[in-house]
Amino acid sequence: MMYRLLADAVMVAHFAFLAYLAVGGFLAWRWRRTIWAHLAVAAWGLVSVVTGVECPLSLAEDWARRRAGLEGLPASGFIDHYIEGVIYPEEYTNLARLGVAVLVLFSYVGYVLRRQ
């Protein structure tokens, strides 16, 4: 039971992380210091997409699920399991990535313009 709750908590944290990746730059418009945290998150997102390195949150959820006696995450990972084919069709993966990149870049442009 405890491992199942841990797996669910990690899943929720992972969704929150991805949401912050997409729109966290806009928070820096109000709270300027958060730009540094968002830069780190955006860099991690870019590295994970480009290199395919597995996210520690995916590893943690997979571990907790298996300890709870559940099926682990598929080898393709968190996004493929929970998002692709669920929130948007798999054939739009590159478009979704482009959309997130545009959101991040727009938030950074807005951050710079509001700072001046």
- pLDDT tens track for 36-76: 999 999 999 999 989 989 899 999 999 999 999 999 888 77
Sign of CA dihedral 50, 52, 55, 61: positive
SS3 content of the chain, % helix, strand, coil (to 5): 80, 0, 20
Note the maximum CA span of the chain.
54
Q: What does the domain layout of the chain look like in residue ranges? A: 2-115
More confident residue, 4 or 85: 4
Could you give the C-alpha distances from 11 to 19, 35, 64, 83, 84, in angstroms and in order? 12, 24, 10, 12, 15
Per-residue pLDDT, 36: 97
